[in-house]
Structure 1
Amino acid sequence: MNPKIELFHGPNKFADSAGAVVEFEPPFNETLSADSIDKQWKKLDSHQGRSLWTGNQPENELSFVDLYTEIVSYFRQPVAVCDHKCISGYQIGNNQRAWIFLCHTHSNTANLILRSSMALTNEIFSLIVTGHPGINKLVPNPIANLQRQVANLHYSKTANILLTVALSRGIPTYPISLGGNIWQYVQGSLGRHYRSAADEFDSLTGDILCRNKVYSNELINRLGFPGVVHEVARNPDHAAKIAALIGYPVVTKPISAGMGKGITTSIDNPDELVAAFKLAASISPRGVIIEKYVKGTDHRLAVFGGELLWVMARYPARVIGDGVHSIATLIG
């Protein structure tokens, strides 16, 4: 096929945002029914066995380019580019060449989707037309594997919100460091760099204090505010000694992880403590915080420019029964 992929990191000849275009010569001239395609797709999606068609199944038979476009659209995460669609077409010359453009704020993600989707398209056509797998061996569970890779390349939920709002207001955005998830909003001297919600003027020491629970708790105590009684345990035996000293129930948590990762609350006995320590230690090998469990409502405060903008109370997930339906039904 000799595919040629070109990346665009900003406005380009195809669209007003980043993306990638692939040009290639279709290896198959045959067309396939949507039903036969979907059967092969579900076999490749051994992890979930879901249909390729997220909407109505096409009535007409599909060419190689048609299927390629459908698969690219399936994997494209419509984040911050919800108004853009995958564009495809043909160039007529000495050889029939096709091209597909994928509009995406993350050009590396577009590149990954275009390359992997071509391998999947070729595999499906090979299996149906020739009865044999394609030339290139696919990895186990290729669909689930590609979804994981796309998710790993993608930006955080906070960045997603900011990028979506910026595009809705016509504010230009550019990736500065794809691996570091750093984006520029606005052009020229007014432009600002952001990593998630942190900009270039945020304090480095403040960032360190926020990410290290031991440091932040020490700061709170030094400022005269009530902090949490805790110690850092090196191993399960050390954790048991700390818990006995400060008294059950206790909480275990990693030193620097966020978003509740590795945290176990309201631990009442040494047996529960061992399992909780292992969970936190898998994220925080330098040590695990053992702290006194404090009952109460969890609040999250948002401060911008030294001004408190909102406070959110967070409660544990729970299900309220109605006396009729099962818990599984209510959750669903």
Structure 2
Amino acid sequence: MLAIVCPGQGAQKPGFLAPWLELPGVRESLAAYSEAAGIDLIAHGTQSDADTIRDTAVAQPLLVAAGVIAADALGTQYRAGSFASSSAPALLAGHSVGEVTASALAGVLSPEDALRLVAVRSRAMAEAAAAEPTSMAAVVGGVREEVLAAIEAQGLAPANLNSSGQVVAAGAAAAISALAENAPARARVIPLQVAGAFHTRYMEPARSTLAEFAPSLSPADAREDRPLVSNAGGEVLTDGSRYLDLIVQQVAAPVDWEACMRVFAERGVTAILEVNPAGTLTGLAKRELKGTALANLSTPDDLEAARALVAEHAAAEASSASDEEA
């Protein structure tokens, strides 16, 4: 069984869209997505420097557009929203803003509506982050209970449960500094270069803004055999309206990627393909889901290997289904 996963903010790199523009139709697609998002995705994805694309209002639309472009390039059967082929992935998931990408790949939202949504989301989160000094830090290692206790002791919140060995704390910038100075036993605290305390109460104004915008969208349901795995505790669902509601709530609630990976294991996922800009989520899977085949689709040069992985595991799934029927 194959899962396609979509990365979150921080995965973007200067110039990462440039090689994709060499493929037919990509420039035209990015132009349409730029109009929907209200920013020049081509310029930001090819020319802007690291500081510019670190801006939440720029990074998030870039990531959604990049994931859709990469999925489209796999072939018509993987084009955003179709997944018509029997070789389509069985699970789709995204980390934080990656859930918006996943909604487009599953056909819950059109690519243009996904870009409209992420434009509102990113601007609202940037505005909320600017209200007071907040930040985030990854806590790597340690004992989970002790890590959570240390985060709570500083008045912080666990914003991301990324894996058994990594929790991201978020809250007041001074408290993040205090956590770094008083790291939990056998743990490292790594401050992150982000604009604010995402997925915490500090983002409540952004959640309210997104909740007001969401009714303007008309989500469709995902296919029953191609469900989405939500950051909200790994909930598996096909109801498009429910998924959109969870995307809205997620802005001010923790991202539980550890639960998503647990679902992958329970559902028998044998391969994971991460779309552009890839590497973060397959890196977590390498440590947590040992034995699972992994592939990154970051440039057009990765397409051949990605298609081979998809074909191999789709064939294995079909063979397994035939054996069960027999």
Q: For this structure pair, what is the TM-score category when the shorter chain's length is used for normalisation?
A: under 0.3
Larger Rg: 1
The answer to which structure has the higher helix fraction is: 2
